[in-house]
Structure 1
Amino acid sequence: MVFEPERFLPALASSVRLMHANRRALRLAPGTDFVVKWLASLLVEAIEGKKRFRTLDCLRTVRSTIRNAPPGQTLEPSTVGLLFRLYQHFVGSSNPDIQWCVGAFIRDRELSEDQLAWLIAAAPDSTHALNRLLRYPKRNRQIVAWARAAYEGREHPDRTAEILGLLIDSKVPPQAREEPTDTVLWAIFYSHTDLRTKERLLLRHVKRSSAESAIKLALRLGLPSLLHRLSKILSREGGDILE
């Protein structure tokens, strides 16, 4: 089946009952669009038909196939739509294992405007939806607009650096001037900018007070230039790196 899913999948998973019974074999299937769409369709149809099934086991089967995706594999928008439908239905589950499982369905995937709008509406009450917005794989105007409103409204104060990071393009926005330097440095790290831009911005904004964060970011990003700049600041201002 690993090599010919189109041939064997209909026999192994013609229903959610068989999908559960054959889950160990199915979890070895490659995450091609055909495989993911087939399994996700079974679950969506079961939900819409109000059929009961072994929720976590079946969701984990879909997740396993997604993780088995061949290098460079992409999914059709219709397949992503099925995965998002499952995410919508289950992300509010009281079972955290189910929540984390369906979170993997849309992680690092580009979504439609309607799907992003749903995440934005759900974010105030769902950490999982908030995470998908903050970790969206590319800069997106809809998310930037949401982040600007969230930042100005001081929403999600424990995620300020990540929200601010979504507003950074080629420079740090002027409204961030009142933020602690640590927050600004981590916002630069979280931004969708390339490494050269991150380096330029970090070198511009690093201060003695943010030495600990600067060291962590320099090591994480592989930027000896940031350590060199910090060393110069400390030599000029005096004092140890971490007091």
Structure 2
Amino acid sequence: MVLEALLRIILTVILLFIVFKVGMRVGSIFFGESQADASVKKMADALSQPGEGTTAVRIGLDSGDAIIGFSQAAKEFRCYGCPQGVYSPVPYYSYVSKPSTAECANVPCICSCKGIRIELPGQLTGREGEQAMELRCAGLSCLKLANNLPDQTPLKAAYPNTTSLANYPFWKGGFFFVNAGDIGNGLPRPQSSVASSSVAIERKRSGTGLLANACPPQVACIQQN
């Protein structure tokens, strides 16, 4: 009897712990501030600073979360060459639609994406002669940016010199950092999906004004034509 009661207590404690962890995760998606939320605030401050320069920012992401930047003109962010390891005779990419909220409507913005998922796992959908995979967020909160983002960011520099790809991944219409095992951001593994990383926030003048971008180390954030 004593042993049975002890086992019940142990099982109850384990069950309560599991319920607590799940509840905390669900609560953070809809109500609380996650690591992504805090990281977005730091990145937004660095991206919106006036004048040229580079700022190092340490970001953190809970499992299943992402940080996405959208340029002013972008209708969606696209990661070409993502997911990796997929064969397609035409260009392919994963994408996230730009929110129509006040923080993102016709302006550059940065968003915290909680609970990112693949809309149709294992499937690529034909779009404009290309193949695409849609990504969606269970929760999305965004901040407006003072400086615009470049239209395109090549990621070739992130790959070792020994790597030889016919077409290297690149970002179009923004930037993308994620911590989800089945979703990559175009960087070589294991950098493509991580819980924390150092991000270089670069600001540089262009013909259209000051541009800003967020990129991993060894990747040129803003390339001038």
Q: Taking structure 1 as the reference length, what is the TM-score of the superposition? A: 0.21
The structure, 1 or 2, with the larger RCO (C-alpha pairs under 8 Å, 6+ apart) is: 2
Q: In proportion to residue count, which structure has more helix?
A: 1
Q: Considering fraction of residues, name the structure with more strand.
A: 2
Whose radius of gyration is greater, 1 or 2?
A: 1
TM-score (norm 2): 0.23
